[in-house]
């Protein structure tokens, strides 16, 4: 039986829904029931009536779905799909850091572990970080983790002082500035769109900065016909589908590779999705006391979004 036919048959038998992030391989994007950025995926996970969520993204995203949906079975195609930002903040070091700033309000980017979420006052994503920071009373000191580049971008946007955790996304920090300049010279009509996980040396050239969903929406609504894309190139598949007849140029990384892909996101495959639904594993499991602690800052974020 053809792979996709097999996947759809299993999906029906298990009453499963397939949620996928835009950085997934095109073949996975094409079979997903819902595609979105981290915020939209968390919101969708909360709304689904399916018994099983097959989460095609990385570990912290599937964990978020489980925190919000304890009664559902949350499966991942590959449990090894991690994230350099989440890995940069181990729970023990994060706890020490938070304790060294007593009284600070702790805002954590959703790209972190359940343990880190449980020690945070509120969660944010790239699409609501500015709003979340602005919701904090002006005289309240803030700790922001784990992405220092997103943090620096939000400091610039809000004018708020924040103590930043020293974490980065391994994909967004290796775009070549030289290649950005080359592409801008080669395509003078193109607008540069960037994810806020990029460092300032890339963001300084951006015409628009936003989450994956807002970058996609911008390419659809903009009058421009060409875009230089400073984020993981998986999103270009949706841009080509939805902003038809427009051109998209991925930026090479510092090694000269023009496909600056997230190695974690790309661990997932159609074959592993089928195996996950067949075997009902790997499954995301979270101890209930930890889940309840992590739920509080996540729900605060969802209320504000």
Binding site for ligand SF4 (CB under 6 A): 58, 83-85, 111, 169-171, 197, 232, 262, 264-265
In this complex, which beta carbon is closest to ligand 13P, that of residue 162 or of residue 169? 169
At what angle are helices 59-68 and 288-304 packed, to 10 degrees? 90
CA 43 to chain CA mean position, Å: 13
Q: Reduce the DSSP state of residue 55 to 3 states and report it.
A: strand
Instruction: Give the dihedral of Cα atoms 45, 46, 51, 53; nearest 10 deg.
Output: 10
| Closer residue to ligand SF4 in complex, CB, 11/21 | 21
Q: What is the helix (H) or strand (E) element at residue 167, kind and residue range?
A: none
Q: Least distance (Å) from ligand 13P to the CB of residue 215?
A: 8
Tell me: does residue 48 bind ligand 13P (CB under 6 A): no
Q: Pairing state of beta strands 52-56 and 122-124?
A: unpaired
Task: Verify binding: residue 253, ligand 13P, rule CB under 6 A.
Answer: no
Could you write out the DSSP letters of every residue in 57-115? S-HHHHHHHHHH-TTSEEE-S-TT---HHHHTS-HHHHHHHHHTSTT-EEEEESSS-HH
Cβ 119 to ligand 13P shortest distance, Å: 21
> How far apart are CB 279 and ligand SF4 at their closest, in Å?
25
Binding to ligand 13P, residues 105-144 (CB under 6 A): 111, 125-126
Q: Report the distance separating Cα 21 and Cα 225, nearest Å.
A: 25
Give, in order, the Cα–Cα distances in Å from 95 to each of 90, 92, 129, 300, 301: 9, 5, 22, 20, 21
Instruction: Report what 44 binds from ligand SF4, ligand 13P, none; CB cut-off 5-8 Å by kind.
Output: none
Radius of gyration of the chain (CA): 19
Q: Does 238 bind ligand 13P (CB under 6 A)?
A: no
Please report whether residue 38 would count as binding ligand 13P according to CB under 6 A: yes
- In the numeric block, which tokens belong to residue 83? 């994230």
Select from ligand SF4, ligand 13P, none the partner in contact with residue 37, using the beta carbon and a kind-dependent cut-off of 5 to 8 Å: ligand 13P
Binding-residue total with ligand 13P (CB under 6 A)? 10
Asked if 211 touches ligand 13P (CB under 6 A), the answer is yes
Interacting residue with ligand 13P among 24, 212, 238, 268 (CB under 6 A): 212
Q: Which does 20 bind (CB under 5 to 8 A by kind): ligand 13P, ligand SF4, none?
A: none
Q: Considering CB distances under 5 to 8 angstroms, the limit depending on partner class, which of ligand 13P, ligand SF4, none binds residue 84? A: ligand SF4
Q: Which among ligand SF4, ligand 13P, none contacts residue 38 (Cβ within 5 to 8 A by kind)?
A: ligand 13P
Q: What is the Cα–Cα distance from 285 to 67, expressed in whole angstroms?
A: 9
Residues that bind ligand 13P (CB under 6 A): 37-38, 111, 125-126, 169, 195, 197, 211-212
């Amino acid at each position: 039986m053809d792979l996709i036919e097999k996947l759809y048959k299993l999906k029906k038998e298990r009453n499963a829904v397939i949620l996928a992030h835009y950085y997934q391989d095109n073949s996975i994007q094409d079979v997903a029931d819902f595609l979105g950025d981290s915020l939209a995926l968390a919101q969708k996970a909360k709304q689904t009536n399916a018994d099983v969520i097959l989460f095609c993204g990385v570990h912290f995203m599937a964990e978020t779905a489980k925190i919000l949906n304890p009664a559902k079975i949350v499966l991942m195609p590959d449990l090894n799909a991690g994230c350099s930002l989440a890995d940069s903040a181990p729970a023990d070091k994060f706890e020490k850091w938070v304790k060294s700033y007593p009284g600070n309000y702790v805002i954590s980017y959703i790209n972190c572990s359940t343990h880190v979420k449980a020690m945070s006052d509120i969660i944010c994503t790239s699409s609501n970080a500015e709003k979340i920071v602005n919701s904090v009373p002006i005289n309240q000191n803030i700790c922001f983790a784990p992405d220092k580049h997103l943090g620096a971008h939000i400091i610039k946007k809000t004018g708020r002082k924040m103590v930043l955790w020293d974490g980065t996304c391994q994909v967004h920090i290796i775009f070549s500035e030289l290649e950005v300049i080359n592409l801008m010279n080669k395509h003078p009509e193109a607008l540069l769109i960037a994810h806020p996980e990029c460092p300032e040396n890339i963001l300084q050239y951006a015409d628009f900065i936003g989450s994956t969903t807002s970058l996609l929406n911008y390419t659809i609504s903009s009058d421009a016909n060409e875009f230089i894309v400073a984020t993981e190139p998986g999103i270009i598949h949706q841009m080509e589908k939805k902003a038809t007849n427009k051109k998209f140029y991925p930026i090479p990384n510092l090694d000269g590779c023009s496909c600056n892909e997230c190695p974690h996101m790309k661990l997932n495959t159609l074959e592993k999705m089928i195996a996950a639904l067949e075997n009902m594993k790997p499954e995301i499991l979270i101890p209930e006391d930890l889940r309840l602690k992590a739920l509080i800052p996540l729900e605060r974020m969802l209320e504000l979004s």
